[in-house]
Structure 1
């Protein structure tokens, strides 16, 4: 598929999956379903991914509308849920009921879940501003972003170290990531009914306690500081600082930059294991390291606060290891030599197959760290996967067979990767 054909196909899918309307109370909405059948709702980080895709397509107005729709349901305290149901109230799975607060209104009115997702909104806003130069949009969004990130810092920094705790596996966006097995009292292995009941039990406990964070922290059924989630959080605090600076809000700009540094330094202090050369997720009240290798062990390397010697050590120890993340179609969502690794289709996601966002994230990281050839390989791999299996939710890292949802939008992030690659080429030419 040529670049032109690829852009055309991405355009076709993302517009076909788009929907808009108006609720009975007059509130409009406008979003793109990640997949028309499997995921019919507006998801937080999916919306942010779609912003990158729309800006790569040159449709800045559509990108703005999607982000505006996401934040139109923002609560007075700043909270925005990980999923907005809009006009489709029936959850995708019956257990999803436990992800919203137990109120009668949620049974018959449009609502959000009580969960969060990786907070990519500031970077998404930055992406729109860089592409469009629309300062009016910035003036509209920055106050909302400040309230949102203030809510996260106030309600989810349980230990005062700047790091955000997720209270269910579904908050990381990587639902069945095998590191969470350990936090649930299990050894990582092939997933089954026991794991399903454990995860559902966490959501049910949070539900019957009305998502009371004090009780959730005290009980400690599932308290995880995820390396990927917190890296994204640190990046977005920095992005928010830069956006505030664009509006001459120096006090806020300093506040969010200082908080970004705090989070990054805590990631290095709490999550890095020098012996294993990896940034691990940690869990519980005492931050126990979960020594399971997934792609998020690399995520913190993109932060400026991480020492260069650490960066090189982590990449050389794990990224290029044949037994771990080297595959025909990179990047497996857990190391190949882990007991939980399953490359095939399964109810239990993120336990072996390739998910495009890991390639998307690592592409930027590898370019930044001076690995242009490896970055290009990630683009080439996605091209091959699309050519072979189309736009699917995830792929087998050995055969390239597509699995999960069809007409899935995430593979469209390849065109953002291509835009970044073009920009990198231009910058190198200038030098």
Structure 2
């Protein structure tokens, strides 16, 4: 059952017909091209950032094109897989899609917009936006002859709203909000009805099923934690951001934004006061707030900065004492997904190795708090290291050795079909966006 206030908001959306409205024309700001092309993406890749980065950036631009396929059920538009090197692919969706969209958006906004439409088109009636769509053509699963996805149990981090905001800012086409406002309201309702934690906050099913809905497979936070609907710092920060965006879009559409604003304020206060330890200067999951033995240096402590839920003093302390500390997250290839000095740090997927996508989000969060200095440091180090490995191996990797070693020296999932990071993996490599952000903050 949808909560009353959310149901009211959704009824208004339906009454206005916002769920099916497509923008009839895209109003662009001077100098922008609403359509764009692969050629423009390649041109940007060959002209942005340091010269030594450009062979890698150009390769990634071509990989975007190579990874795009004609429309096929369940997608109405051309669709971009998360990378031809993905061992379980081809696949579409999760937060990988958002990284890809942001990576190419300024040069090819038309293609980016189609991916965002594909993403919300298959939202379930109860509000869940599906996580990964598994498409035919898998080398490991040749029995997969049609698309499949979880319709009930497995969502994903709701980062797609970042991409919509970026699209609107780029093109000026705020009319697209009419198409995405309804899916946003429904997804908020789904989180409230299905992922509401005991007390306050939200959780991902990692804590219940170990199916890694958070996108962080085998994350260290859950190693010794009892099962329960306990608030996770990542999920709570992500839903907080959904409410902030809902308030913003409601205002832009001339609708009442009071409920969404109040709910965002409630979650912000809970994150700042109920999920932050003043002594440590870190954000924690609810169970780690209660039991210090369960505390770790997991990178998820940085999500309140990405979402803008931390206070400025909290953000500055976290950046100064942890993000920029070379014994913690600021490794040779930042950011380490587990602080280097944490006893649980290891060279294994999400338990230490660096993912360029997460470096991008943290850098973006730093800029939000006026810390361009920190953003520049981690972006430059990550791109330098990625370009160095590209020169050696001729590919981009799913994740990287945090200490600067060979990516093939880090582990993926012991006992699985592949225990090394995948090659030609677009989904976690928004390196063009990283170079673009680096250029912007270096002016």
TM-score band, normalised by the shorter chain?
0.7 to 0.9
- The count of aligned residue pairs is 369
Q: Equivalent residue for 1:32?
A: 80
Q: Equivalent residue for 1:21?
A: 71
- Determine whether 1:405 maps to 2:410: no
Please give the residue correspondences for 1:216-295 in structure 2 after superposition, counting only pairs within 5 Å.
221=227, 223-249=229-255, 251=256, 253-283=257-287, 288=291, 290-295=294-299
Q: Equivalent residue for 1:414?
A: 431
8 Å CA contact 1:393–1:408 kept in 2: the answer is yes
Q: Distance in 1 between matches of 2:304 and 2:124?
A: 30
Q: Point out where structure 1 has 5 or more consecutive residues left out of the alignment.
A: 95-105, 185-220, 427-431
8 Å CA contact 1:145–1:240 kept in 2: the answer is yes
Which structure has more strand as a fraction of its residues?
Answer: 1
Q: Distance in 2 between matches of 1:274 and 1:13?
A: 45
- Determine whether 1:327 maps to 2:331: yes
Please give the residue correspondences for 1:12-411 in structure 2 after superposition, counting only pairs within 5 Å.
12-23=62-73, 28=76, 30-36=78-84, 37-38=86-87, 39-56=89-106, 58-87=107-136, 110-112=148-150, 114-159=153-198, 161-166=200-205, 167-169=208-210, 170-183=212-225, 221=227, 223-249=229-255, 251=256, 253-283=257-287, 288=291, 290-302=294-306, 304=308, 306-343=310-347, 346=348, 349-390=349-390, 391-403=396-408, 404-410=421-427
Change (3 A) 1:260 1:116: same
Q: Distance in 1 between matches of 2:333 and 2:139?
A: 36
Change (3 A) 1:222 1:11: farther
8 Å CA contact 2:244–2:261 kept in 1: the answer is yes
The C-alpha deviation readout for 1:50-73, integer Å capped at 9, x for no partner, is 2211214x2111111111111121
Q: Distance in 2 between matches of 1:92 and 1:335?
A: 35
Q: Distance in 2 between matches of 1:296 and 1:111?
A: 26
The C-alpha deviation readout for 1:355-394, integer Å capped at 9, x for no partner, is 1122112212222334333321222122222222231111
Q: Equivalent residue for 1:187?
A: none
CA shift, 1:109, in A, is: 6.6
Q: Equivalent residue for 1:207?
A: none
Q: Distance in 2 between matches of 1:246 and 1:386?
A: 39
Change (3 A) 1:236 1:327: same
- Mean alpha-carbon deviation: is it higher for 163-172 or for 113-122? 163-172
Higher relative contact order (CA 8 A, sep 6+): 2
Q: Equivalent residue for 1:217?
A: none
8 Å CA contact 2:337–2:354 kept in 1: the answer is yes
**3-state SS of paired residue (1:388):** helix
CA shift, 1:86, in A, is: 4.4
Change (3 A) 1:379 1:306: closer
Q: Point out where structure 2 has 5 or more consecutive residues left out of the alignment.
A: 1-49, 391-395, 409-420
Change (3 A) 1:281 1:93: farther
Change (3 A) 1:109 1:84: closer
RMSD: 3.0
Q: Distance in 2 between matches of 1:264 and 1:117?
A: 21
Change (3 A) 1:389 1:361: same
Please give the residue correspondences for 1:420-431 in structure 2 after superposition, counting only pairs within 5 Å.
420-424=437-441
Q: Equivalent residue for 2:25?
A: none
**3-state SS of paired residue (1:352):** coil
Instruction: Calculate the TM-score normalised by the size of structure 2.
Output: 0.74
CA shift, 1:80, in A, is: 1.7
Q: Distance in 1 between matches of 2:367 and 2:300?
A: 17
8 Å CA contact 1:71–1:80 kept in 2: the answer is yes
Instruction: Calculate the TM-score normalised by the size of structure 1.
Output: 0.76
- Mean alpha-carbon deviation: is it higher for 62-71 or for 375-384? 375-384
Q: Distance in 1 between matches of 2:241 and 2:56?
A: 29
